[in-house]
Structure 1
Amino acid sequence: MTTLVLGMDVGGTSSRAVVTDLTGRVMGRGVGGGGNPISRGIGPAMAAIRDALEQALAGVDGVAVDRNAVQGNVIGAAGFGAGTAHEALAQVWRELGMPGEPVVAGDIEVAFASGTDALDGSVLIGGTGAVAGSIAGGRPGAVADGLGWLLGDHGSGFWVGREAVRRALSPRADLADPLFEQVAVRLTGRSEVDRSTFIAAAYAAEPVRLSELAGVVVAAADAGSAVAEAILSAAADELVATLAQVRDAGETTVVVLGGGLLGTPLLNGLVTERIEDGWPGSQVTHTGSGVGGAAWLAARSLGVDLPADLHATLTAPGPTC
């Protein structure tokens, strides 16, 4: 019987599952809706996870996965503890006839594993939110930020969008800078608005929706907006300050960067420069396939010799899911 592993990357907007053998050959894959039990609710989250699992277990080319051959699994997800959500996941696992119990790993652990096969290092995520974490001996350690828009997320997409609005409302704003008109259009649909209208528009939507303005800032910076460039430079400072909370001075282990905002060339370059200055000799790499990272953790947990290229095969964009 061929040994198989199952990996899942469960997020707020989608849930991905993959089943592979220990050479990285994909035996099944599936995609469902958002599976975060906090943002989606336990019922809808479990339905999305079940959907992705059922697709993956149906196999490829009409050949169903032998469920008893799945010897390792890792479910990369946030929002699962030892309480109701985890119990619901275990129930789904049993109903699908899967062996053993589902193994839940935090999103920081999976993000790190998607970018490196090292056992020690740090990960910094900059997307809608922002978080940094340390990994030691393959296990997650200290975590900084990840506190959401109200308490933290410094340097995140939300932070960048909010900063754009704040600078537009400053009495010293250089209104000739193209960023401000673009932010006004995105918020109100008009290029010229008064202060009260601008403020009202910013408060009209859910707070986290300000993160959508991050794309406006990135595009404006690429087009030469000095204000947008300054915002992204400040965001880089915030992100690296968060990283410093979980990374010792003089450390030279790998740093994995991830998240949509940190994937943009300008911010990525600014953050990478600061890391190279602050921690000379450190390798900086980037997250790969999250579901592949989970599958890698599942394979590594088996404690057997693995092919040297397995990590690269599983985490490369595309093949796993």
Structure 2
Amino acid sequence: MSNEVGAIIVTFNPDISGLKRNINAIYKQVDRVVIVDNGSNNLDSIKELLQTLRINIDIIDLGKNLGIAAAQNRAISSLDDLGFSWVVTLDQDSEMADESIQKLKVTSQYGDKDTGILAAQYNDSKWTEEQRKNKLDERYDKVVQKKMVIASGNLVNIKAWKAVQGYDEWMFIDQVDFDFNAKLLLAGYKIWQVNNVVMDHAVGDVIQKPMLSRVLLFPKKAIFSDHSAFREYYIQRNTIIYSKRYPEFRRHKYQVIVSMIQSRRILVYSEPRIKKLISAWKGIIDGVKYRPEDDTNFMEFRQSLNNRRTKNEN
């Protein structure tokens, strides 16, 4: 069998039964599966699961939590070394339906050298029907162009990944996917969402408190995905960093103000809310301090794009 499509699953203290469903859902659809572990305290249980399943799966043990970006880069690099052309990126709590990869591969975009990502839609079982209707594109016969897709459920062109220098490991976790999306678009690649591929996926712990959310003036369709204080820092910091790096794609002109206002959603979350709020505001402050022109790696990427454009023009 030729190496064409591999899959990576990034793990960090995973629920073993959920990881088992993830593996069983994907391993028959691809040519190879790589698990890259970010310092899980239940790594032995992960290894025992793989022995029980008796499936030939590679595991890369990073030894500590280096973040989603570093984990994805390490795993994709290993598949690139083996000659793979495409890779499916999955979180530990994602589950691809049968024939999902085949549905992605039969699209005309799969054969287009300018395609950077073919993405699945995702559905969270904890959403209300109104939230689900707002999130899912029900034009299931369509393949639509996107500017932003979450990292899980992506079929990534490895040539495109190399062309934009992979995922930004300094960002660590949140907005890593959107940062990667922006780099692909700036480099001339396209991102497509294949609507008839819908993945089961959880983004944080969805909380439903309709009365409190209405008091806080959130719309009924708003989704509250609870995260740790650690995550809240990166969510807020990296959202502002993204808006500063990519004015071409930013969602809000005054992202700092928007982030400050939106941080009230933490009042809907579980305890310790004060700790989460403090972490969020620390992230906002560090985001305000960030200057793209002082970011050497990012400026090198921007310069590489300028050099490429100059070369093409000549």
State TM-score, norm by structure 2. Answer: 0.26
Return the structure number with greater relative CO, CA threshold 8 A, min gap 6. 1
Work out which of the two has the higher radius of gyration on C-alpha atoms and give 1 or 2: 1
